[in-house]
Amino acid sequence: MAVFDSTWSPSSWRDREALQQPEWPDGEAVDRVRDRLHALPPLVFAGEARQVRAALAEVAAGRAFLLQAGDCAESFHDFERLTDTGAAYSAVAIRERLQILLQMAAVLTYGAALPVLKIGRIAGQFVKPRSSDVERTPDGEIPVFRGHMIHDDLPTARARIPDPERMLEGYHLSASTLNLVRGFTKGGFADLTQVHSWNQDFVATSPQGKRYEVLASEIERALAFMAACGIDLAATPQLHQVDVWTSHEGLLLDYEEGLTRRDSLTGDWYDCSAHMLWIGDRTRAADGAHVEFFSGVHNPIGCKLGPGADPDEVVELCERLNAERAPGRLTMIVRLGADRVAEALPPLLRAVARAEQPVVWVCDPMHGNGFTTAGGRKTRHFDAIMAEIEGFFDACRAEGAWPGGVHLEYTGENVTECLGGSEELAEEQLDDRYETLCDPRLNGRQSLDLAFRVAELMRR
Ligand code: PEP
Ligand code: CO
């Protein structure tokens, strides 16, 4: 089947099987919300989505590296509370998340000696696919939590009734988040000298400080060298303004359809809810509703590949989503697990290479390495996360593919959700500050540990 065939429309996904959608109690209320979404301004512009596609084409060519990272599930509650000092919690949390992202990116840029494309899981990551439809509580089974754009997380049957008005709230919160991201990244917060000094603070206080110091002091010397050459670090736009683009899983198709617009310049359709969208591992059936929907919009698209992905199926997905073989259009985000990546990734790389598909290969080392502790906490170990990234690099290098990037779940805050890292977070500590709505995230310091390790890997 041709990809951009004439039968495609923003609603043609409705003729296909749509997995992981809420059971809205009132269909007409959903239609009304979608009409209202249609009448609201786009969150991102088609021209920006094209810029991200072009940047991803550079990654596909091995001339750049992708850092895609953010929350597992953003929370409406972040916008309803204050910090201890009376500041808006949302603003502080977004700033901290951005700060860590910029710090990671600076280290990776130096390690790779290449541009690092920064894409947040941010400003719209409000919907979650789930493995089970129900959740057990002391009062019995209730519908599982699917994200704040659908219902509340409170563990009661009543809280879990899907409410389409939440799509509008999700839109407005995404707009506020994006506004702050644009402000921070263009308004001096991203100044490289500043970002580097944050990294030096991290190195100075890290138990692995000695190890990281080598790289940090090289960056220091590189900055001093530029200054000595007469480059005014504070006045050079590339050194104090950056682009941080947005992405989320394009799971809730009523919402995505509501934000899909025809670009007046090119006449092409774009999903203007985010710059990049990805299709989850559970909803990537080639003949399913999600692949149908995303085959027709011109944003850069990601697709998660779990251990169940088979080479022929992956090639078929490439055909469905990128029949034109345009570099930058399609990113495959593999999440196979540390123990499976060496065996399972090469056949996928080979099949896609044989099909001459210009795919960006990215490693999500989070979703294949989860386990539950005896105490009942969902967690991931830093060592397994690093081991999957190393396995990904090895497999790509052996097959002549470019290891194009990493896709992470992290938060800027000092949460205790993932084990290990330089500070060797232990199982007994998980209860200290376990706050995630869904999957366990790297905390700020674990994220920086990871960036330094990946930078080391890239220089090898
Ligand atoms: C996710 O990225 O949060 C997620 C659910 O991933 P996957 O589709 O790979 O399971
Ligand atoms: Co997740």
Query: What's the mean per-residue pLDDT of the chain?
Result: 96
As given in the structure block, the two tokens for residue 386 are 């690093």
Which amino acid would we find at residue 383?
Answer: D
As given in the structure block, the two tokens for residue 408 are 């992470």
As given in the structure block, the two tokens for residue 301 are 């698209």
Percentage of residues of the chain with pLDDT beyond 90: 95
Beta-ladder partners of 419:
381
User: Ligand 1 pocket, 440 CB below 6 A?
Assistant: no
More confident residue, 325 or 238: 325
CB 98 within 8 A of CB 244: yes
* Residue to probe by mutation, ligand 1, list 19, 279, 304, most atoms within 8 Å of CB: 304
User: Ligand 1 pocket, 304 CB below 6 A?
Assistant: yes
User: Ligand 1 pocket, 335 CB below 6 A?
Assistant: yes
Q: Which residue has the tokens 């490289």?
A: 192
User: Ligand 1 pocket, 387 CB below 6 A?
Assistant: no
User: From 3.20.20.70, 3.40.50.300, 2.60.120.340, 3.40.109.10, which CATH number describes the 12-459 domain?
Assistant: 3.20.20.70
How many angstroms from the chain centroid is the CA of residue 213?
28
Ligand nearest to C-alpha 282: 1
Ligand nearest to C-alpha 279: 1
The residue whose CA is least distant from atom 6 of ligand 1 is 280
Question: Considering only CA atoms, which of 68, 124, 123 is closest in space to residue 302?
Answer: 68
In this predicted structure, what is the pLDDT of residue 2?
A: 40
Question: Considering only CA atoms, which of 406, 415, 360, 372 is closest in space to residue 386?
Answer: 406
User: Ligand 1 pocket, 444 CB below 6 A?
Assistant: no
User: Ligand 1 pocket, 71 CB below 6 A?
Assistant: no
As given in the structure block, the two tokens for residue 174 are 């995404």
In this predicted structure, what is the pLDDT of residue 5?
A: 56
CA of 304 to the centre of ligand 2 (A): 11
* 212 pLDDT more than 90: yes
- Environment class of residue 253 by beta-carbon count within 10 Å: exposed (0-12), middle (13-18) or buried (19+)? buried
CB 410 within 8 A of CB 442: yes
Segment 87-109 shows an average pLDDT of 97
Dump pLDDT digits (tens) for 64-86: 999 999 999 999 999 999 999 99
* Residue to probe by mutation, ligand 1, list 364, 369, 436, most atoms within 8 Å of CB: 364
Dump pLDDT digits (tens) for 128-183: 999 999 999 998 999 999 999 999 999 999 999 999 999 999 999 999 999 999 99
In this predicted structure, what is the pLDDT of residue 240?
A: 86
Percentage of residues of the chain with pLDDT beyond 70: 99
As given in the structure block, the two tokens for residue 106 are 């600076």
As given in the structure block, the two tokens for residue 303 are 């697709």
Dump pLDDT digits (tens) for 296-314: 999 999 999 999 999 999 9
Integer Cα distance of 110 and 226 in angstroms? 14
As given in the structure block, the two tokens for residue 35 are 């009409």
In this predicted structure, what is the pLDDT of residue 222?
A: 95
The total of other beta-carbon atoms located within 10 Å of residue 116's CB is 21
In this structure, the dihedral spanned by the alpha carbons of residues 258, 259, 265 and 267, taken in order and rounded to 10 degrees, is: -40
* 3 pLDDT more than 80: no
As given in the structure block, the two tokens for residue 185 are 């990244």
User: Ligand 1 pocket, 281 CB below 6 A?
Assistant: yes
In this predicted structure, what is the pLDDT of residue 263?
A: 97
How many angstroms from the chain centroid is the CA of residue 430?
24
User: Ligand 1 pocket, 129 CB below 6 A?
Assistant: yes
The residue whose CA is least distant from atom 1 of ligand 1 is 72
Task: Give residue 1's pLDDT band: very low, low, confident or very high (50, 70, 90).
Answer: very low
The residue whose CA is least distant from atom 4 of ligand 1 is 280
The residue whose CA is least distant from atom 5 of ligand 1 is 129
User: Ligand 1 pocket, 407 CB below 6 A?
Assistant: no
Segment 102-126 shows an average pLDDT of 97
User: Ligand 1 pocket, 441 CB below 6 A?
Assistant: no
